[in-house]
Structures are given as structure tokens and as C-alpha cells.
Amino acid sequence: MRLFPRLLLNHLAVVAVTASVLLIATELTAQPFIRHHVAQMMDLLGSQGNHMRLDLTSGMRTTLTRALLAALPLGLLVAALTAWVAARRVTASVRHLQAGSQAIASGQYDRRLPEVGEDELTELARSFNTMAGTLARIEQTRAELIGNVAHELRTPVSAVRGYAEAAQDGILPADQALAAIAREVAGMERLTHDLSLVSRVEGGRVELHLTSIPLRDLLTQAQDRFQLAFEDRGVTLQVDFPPAAWAVWADPQRAQQVLANLLGNALKHTPAGGRVWVSADVHGAEATVSVVDTGSGISPEHLDRVFERFYRVDAARTRGEGSGVGLTIARGLARAMHGDLTATSTPGQGSTFRWTVPLSPVAARPPQRS
């Protein structure tokens, strides 16, 4: 049996039981009431009314029963109509949910349910709509990811084919063509490695070896690694080294990867003559590493999306410079190490990326900077 008939029969059964209980209760409780009032009437009539006692009692009971039986059909009709409306409303919501679920299953992620009222059915519809919106965003992200990967691979694949054809036609010497092909292949290998790392980071499958690391050592290694690259681009790299006692609880390799992605991103977006400033501070049980650049900055509509895979604020300017997932990896690794990575920016003045990382539990708590 379908839902609507079952709900209607259940409501009608409740109405029938209620009516039966009402009749029985009235018949049982009315007798003392009727006898009491008949006795009062007999007291008023005196001995002349004794022969009327049985007739009055029988008449009042009969009148009460007839009145109940006369009112019962109307009550049952109103109750049945109410039950029908209630059952229709519930089944209508269920039908909407069923149709919406079938639409979502067929890929129509823009399907939404009406939200009317403030009851549990409305909450269910609201939850369904939230789920549909989330699935739509996931599907959009999946489509964008496929498109971005295809775009990122199309350029090096085309270049490899061009170099190979040039070598075959004798336009380019074989050794030069092979060297160029090797560079393009290396770029594709970096892209596939970064995509694999993104997948493992977002799936919580990245392997970490957390240990106590002096924060000064992390910044020193990062500076040594990037100093020449900054000098080649004409950008000043300034590092404010923290006290030697400050230590964080992190994976050394992954921590360096976070810093490398932050410094690489800052260098990429800072013009010649600009400056990138790295500093550290301690608040409570966390250290905060800040990377501040004097680049063009990020507008508010882009700021919330800079950590998304392949998202580029200026796709034309940055296409080909990195895989486009560096900040995604950096935030994923920061959170995997029980920290976080956030960004603030003022358009035209630069951006600030802040990496929070837990302090080492095995080292003495470092003094906070004033």
C-alpha cells in the first residue's frame, strides 16, 4: 500500500478510536451527573415528583446519547478532512523529495525543493537543498579540475610533439630537441606529482613524521634555498629570525614544502624592486609564520579562492609558472600538521600569508615577543 492511503487510514483509525473512547467515557461519567441533577429536581418537586424520577433519568440519558450520536458524523467528517489534508501535505513533501532525489541521481544538481513553513518537513527540504548545492559545487570543481589538467598538459604535449617533428625534419638538432623534450617531460612529471600530493593531502593520506624543529632553522633553510632566485628577479628577501629557543612541532620536509610554496608564490607575484618579508611570532600554543609581499595584491572576490586547485587570479600572467596547486598543497599540509594557512590582502599594496603551526610539546615554552 502506498504512503498516502496508509497515512489516511492511520489518521482515520485514530479518529475512530478517539470517538469510541469519547462515547464510552461520556456514557460512564454521565450517569452520576444525571442522577445528581435528577435528585435535585426531586427535592424541588417533593413527593409529587417521585414517580417521574425514572422517566427523567431515562430521558436525560437518551437525550445526551442522541446528541452525541447526532454530532458524531459531523465531527468524524471534519476529522477525516483534516486527516486527508495532513496526509496529502506529508505525501506531497515526500513526492517532492523523491523527485528531487531522482533528479540529483540523474545529474540535475540545480534541482531544489520548496521551503514552506518551519516544521521538520521544511528542515528536511532545506537540508536537501544544502546537499544539492554542495553536490553542484563538487561537480563544478570536478569539471574545472578535468579542464585545468587537460589545459596544463596540452601545452607541454604540444611542445614535445613540435620538438620531435622539428628534429625529424632536420630543422632542430637532435640533441637540442631531446633537451627541450626532457624539460617538458620534467614539467609534466612535476604536475602529476603535485596532483598526486593534492589528492593524498585532501584525502588525509599524506605521511607525516612530526618532531620538534627549531623555527630559526626552518627559516634559515628557506632563505638559503630562495636567496638566489630572489636576487635574479630583483626582489628583496628579508627574514626576521626568531629566537633560537622557539621550536615547532611539524614534519621537517613538509614544513619546508609549505614555506617553499609560500615564498615561491610571493616571488611570482612581486615585481622587480619589491620586497618579501618573512617573520615569526608566538601566541599561546602556536607559532605564526608570516610571508608579506609588496605585489599587486588580491581583490576580495578572489581572496577566498586562492587556495583552490588551479585557481589563478590572473590566468594569462601566471599560466605556465608552476602547477597551480602550490597554495592548495601548502594549506593541506599546514592543516595536516594541526595548523592552518590563511591570507589577507590589500589590492595594490600586497598580500600576507600566515601559517600557524603548533609549538613543540617537548621543548620549553618559548617567551612571547612583546
pLDDT band at 357, cuts 50/70/90? Answer: very high
The residue count for the chain: 370
**Among 5, 16, 6, residue whose Cα is nearest residue 77:** 16
pLDDT higher at 143 or 52: 143
pLDDT band at 370 (very low <50, low <70, confident <90, very high): very low
Residue 242 has φ and ψ, to the nearest 5°, of: -80, 170
- A 10 A CB-CB count for 80 gives 15
Ordered by where they begin, the domains of the chain are 3-108 (no CATH), 211-358 (3.30.565.10)
Confidence of residue 364 (pLDDT cuts 50, 70, 90): very low
Q: Indicate the pairing of strand 340-346 with strand 350-358.
A: antiparallel
Q: Report whether 109 contacts 41 (CB < 8 A).
A: no
Q: What is the pTM of this model?
A: 0.59
pLDDT, tens digit, for every residue of 56-103? 667 666 776 777 667 667 777 777 777 777 777 777 777 777 888 888
Mean pLDDT of the chain: 80
Give per-residue pLDDT as tens, 305-315.
888 877 666 54
